[in-house]
Amino acid sequence: MTRLKKILIVDRELSYRELLRDALRNQYEVIDTGDYGEAASLAELTSPELIIMDVDASTQKGVELCELLKEDPETRDIPIILITSFNQREDIVLGLQSGASDYITKPLCLPEVVARVESHLRTQDYYGDLEHKDLLMLLELSEAISVTRNPNAILRLIVKKMSKIIDVERCSIISFSEDKKITVKASNDLEKNEEIKLDISRYPEIRKSIETKQTVIINDIKADPIMASVRTHIADLDYNSIVVIPLIKKQSVIGTFFLRTVSRKRHGINDRVYKLCQLAANIAANALENAILFETMKTAQEYFEEISIRDDLTKLYNRRYFYRRMQEELSRTSRYDVPLSLIFFDVDDFKRINDTYGHTQGDKVLMKIGKFLKETARESDIPVRFGGDEFAIILPNTTANGANDLANRISASIRHQQFQNLEGECITISMGISTYCRKAQVSLDDFVKLADEAMYKSKSQGRGLVSQL
């Protein structure tokens, strides 16, 4: 009896573990746990062929576990698929940098999960039907796509390569939009930028693939029951076989695309053609996702730069970015004689909150304060997590009076915030303000020190105060 391949699922949420277990248990031996500490031991003990884990963005435990597994010689070669929300892009990047092979975004699309698992667990034997020219084409396609960020160019490249390597009448990539329209985005028999609309009622094989998110293979269009509703329309067609393969990714990422080929072959779709189409579809899906992901940024460099200047916990700007921007704002202020103010504050008795309620709860307090600052800051303001429970706000074009008014509003708002699981605790902050005066000409370090000293003046005089130097 053939041994089932093992998959380890790591997720704190039982509902997601059960969902994945039900989707995979017919084909694989599934082991699951909600304990990230236990997961490392299970991986070493059971030697799974694949690990699926939630990133757990609130604690970064998924990233830490990924790093731990990749450092262990016993587990470093096990592929890891991350599960995360698409809007947590920095967690995706951190996970991939830690050694993960792939990621899937929530809410989970089970056909996508199964397809991705299958692709990671395929053995060399699976590719035995492919010819040497097929492998060269796939390699050439992958290399060409790796330097292409234009989604339409990627689609045209795929249909061009596929139509040359396999004996098909037509190779097309079709999109299905939320308004129920299907459009041929690229085809080997269309001009470069030409698109055509299709009536979905005339293409039941596409409709079935849309509904099931599964591959549809028609080996005889004249006899297959799927084509019964259009039998009279296809009677004169000189092709016999159809393959429709969904390019499965989240609809919010790339839309729903389908690779469709039609052929005159009388013996139906053989394993070679099917596998080649499936592999091309996988390459296309990954390439399209990457292209559209980076299309939202001016450059990939800008994206990674943004991650490097953000605090992991609060997503505010970090200390390094603070000093860079302070230097820029001081130079601008000195040159154009415009006001510049700086607010420093920390959370009163934060150590007691950590000691009483735990560091996880303390982190939630900091996260909520960070969220509040992002929501209340003006477009020109620069809110920063300076370190620990210390925060700063750079206020360009802001006088001492303006900074004082803002500081008092923030202090009052945080005092009235409700913090979950803190049993009625009133969170207060001690704030200090410094304002740049061109006549005084202070250095960056001195300017920061003045705000810091003002903050400690507030702290020495009581809780929840605002001081200015």
Q: What is the pLDDT of residue 404?
A: 94
Q: Does the domain made of 309-468 have the CATH classification 3.30.70.270?
A: yes
Residue 251 has pLDDT above 50, yes or no: no
User: Helices 444-461 & 319-336, crossing angle to 10 degrees?
Assistant: 110
Alpha-carbon distance of 117 to 366, in angstroms, equals 37
Q: Could you report the per-residue pLDDT of 255-289, keeping only the tens digit for each?
A: 445 667 666 666 667 788 888 887 877 777 776 66
Of 50, 121, 57, the residue nearest 94 (C-alpha)? 57
Q: Could you report the per-residue pLDDT of 316-361, keeping only the tens digit for each?
A: 999 989 999 999 898 888 888 889 999 999 999 999 998 898 888 8
pTM strictly above 0.85: no
Banded model confidence at residue 253, pLDDT cuts 50, 70, 90: very low
Alpha-carbon distance of 115 to 9, in angstroms, equals 16
Residue 72 has pLDDT above 90, yes or no: no
Alpha-carbon distance of 349 to 343, in angstroms, equals 19
In which residue are the tokens 């779709």 written? 269
Largest CA distance in the chain: 91
Q: Could you report the per-residue pLDDT of 119-167, keeping only the tens digit for each?
A: 788 765 667 778 888 888 888 877 777 777 677 787 788 888 888 877 7
The CATH number of the structural domain formed by 6-120 is 3.40.50.2300
The CATH fold of domain 124-295: Beta-Lactamase (3.30.450)
CA 435 remoteness from chain centre = 40
Q: Do domains 6-120 and 124-295 have the same CATH topology?
A: no
426 or 437, which is more confident: 426
Residue 182 structure tokens:
């299907």
Who contacts 254 (Cβ-Cβ below 8 Å, separation ≥6)? 151, 247, 285, 288, 289, 292
Phi, psi values for residue 252, rounded to 5°: -70, -15
Alpha-carbon distance of 57 to 51, in angstroms, equals 18
**Torsion, Cα of 407, 409, 411, 412 (10° steps):** 160
**Spans of all domains in the chain:** 6-120, 124-295, 309-468
Round the average pLDDT of the chain to a whole number and report it: 82
- How much of the chain, in percent, has pLDDT values that exceed 90? 25
Banded model confidence at residue 218, pLDDT cuts 50, 70, 90: confident
Residue 423 has pLDDT above 70, yes or no: yes
Q: What is the pLDDT of residue 381?
A: 92
H helix or E strand, kind and range, residue 185: strand 182-187
